[in-house]
Amino acid sequence: RTDVLIGPHGADMTNAFALHAGASVVELLPPIRKGCPCTMYQQMFAAEPKVYHYTASTTNNSHATRTGPANTRGTYSSDFVVPVSVTERILEHVVTVGGRAENFRTVDFRFA
């Protein structure tokens, strides 16, 4: 019954494959990338185009959460901030597409 699923890149994104035809999925790509995020989900949804796949990405490290002691390299988690204005842009686009294949085009909603 979900029309729009927004979630971070990762294993939970597989839930989008249960969406109905015409639904949209927005994959949030974290700013810290060490070999991933990859284009796996984008390619999978393109192969079975019943669900419309979008991405929202940033390279702004200040959006990421750092873990580990401050004096060590630590790691970054996939927890990051997506500004409300970006979410609004995404949802406005999804509403404009309206679940219609003729209106769909792949979009990466990049933000700083």
Token pair listed for 105: 């085009």
Distances in Å between the Cα of 80 and the Cα atoms of 28, 31, 62, 64, 77 are: 9, 8, 9, 4, 8
Decide if 5 contacts 19 (C-beta within 8 A).
Answer: yes
Token pair listed for 7: 């979630």
pLDDT digit string, tens, across residues 26-76: 998 877 665 565 788 889 998 887 999 999 988 776 665 655 555 555 554
Q: Which of 25-34, 74-83, 100-109 has the lowest mean pLDDT?
A: 74-83
pLDDT score recorded for residue 71: 56
The predicted model scores a pTM of 0.80
CA-to-CA distance for 23 and 2, rounded, in angstroms? 7
pLDDT average, residue stretch 90-95: 96
CA-to-CA distance for 83 and 65, rounded, in angstroms? 15
